[in-house]
Amino acid sequence: MIITLTMNPALDRTVSLPEPLAVGDVQPATSIREDAAGKGVNVAHVLTAAGDEVRAVLPLDPTDPYGALLTGVERVVVPITGHARANLTITDPAGETTKLNLPGPRLGPSAADALIDAVVTASEGTTWLALCGSLPPGAGDDFYVRVIEAVRARLETPPLIAVDTSGPVLTHTVAHGRPDLIKPNEVELAELAGVAVTSDLAEVAAAARVVVPAQAAAALVTLGGAGALLVDASGVQHAAIPPNVRVRSTVGAGDSSLAGYLHAHVAGAASGEALVSAVRHGSATASLPGTRLASPGDLPTGDVALSRLP
């Protein structure tokens, strides 16, 4: 069983354009769709499609229409007041994506405590807990640390903990929570390590070593078209994206990469195999239009080149 926590769920509205976005102009759109999303919910969708046991924990107002759209995923809902935020995503045929993300409803102290309790209860006897996405106003940058501390203190055999967030929340969680896995992209990793953003694999690996293994046991660093790196105590591995993958939308690709890694890990795969699974799942979602997420039938069949870096 894998548990995901989505503290800032979002009603994603995706607009598809027939041409690149022209700022300041009036343009026709070819389609619009709405999805119940949020990073942890996305991870849960991909894992569910892959046949894994997964449960998504999230805060939700009982009157929120988001709930009716959230189908196909087992969930644990903690009642709050205030509807989930709405995010707008604009995509074009070349795969260029523009996102406008709104803040979520303010989280009160009692709701925060109830969510921590719900995560602890849901995590008993599970393999992984994935803490995913931004935090709503009122949660505080230390919220994920509070969750980690509660899970590790209250459960006799706590799950491994993955963290996929950014900015001050990621910095605070890594500094004080010692997660088992973090999943930044190269920009988020550079900010965390306090270095310049780079796409050079050796420099990305060096940035990851600033926090691995001293503050996080491992880092899965997604690199878009350059694949992904896995950095842990044993060294650095790189997986390239399969050939002939055409990027249509990057929405959810990072979430799918994390799901792919967790899917392989719970099946007993070695670290390199888990990295390859992460790249396959991320590439699959990137090849799909709008906000569609990868299912097993979408995974690219080409070879994924796996190598070790010095």
Q: What residues contact 54, with CB distance under 8 A and at least 6 apart?
A: 1, 2, 3, 4, 43, 44, 47, 48, 73, 74
Cα-flanking dihedrals φ and ψ of residue 90, to 5°? -120, 125
For 226, the token pair is 């350059």
Provide the pLDDT for residue 249: 74
Give the three-class secondary structure for 164: strand
User: In 10 A of CB 23, how many CB atoms?
Assistant: 5
Q: How far apart are CA 257 and CA 93, in angstroms?
A: 22
**Average pLDDT per 10 consecutive residues for the chain, totaling 310 residues:** 96 90 92 90 97 98 93 95 91 85 91 98 98 96 98 98 98 98 97 95 97 97 95 96 83 94 98 97 89 90 91
pLDDT of res. 289: 75
d(CA 254, CA 224): 9
Homologous superfamily (CATH) of 2-309 is Ribokinase (3.40.1190.20)
With beta carbons less than 8 A apart as the criterion, state whether 47 and 54 touch: yes
Q: How many CB atoms lie within 10 A of CB 101?
A: 14
Q: What's the rounded Cα separation, in Å, for the pair 54 and 295? A: 15
Rounded CA-CA distance 65/264 in Å is 33
Q: How many residues does the chain have?
A: 310
What per-residue confidence (pLDDT) applies to 256?
Answer: 97
pLDDT of residue 87: 87
Peptide bond before 213: cis, by omega within 30 degrees of 0? yes
pLDDT for residue 282: 96
Q: What is the pLDDT of residue 259?
A: 98
The phi and psi torsions of 138 (rounded to 5 degrees) equal 95, -15
pTM of the shown model: 0.92
The predicted pLDDT at position 34 comes to 86
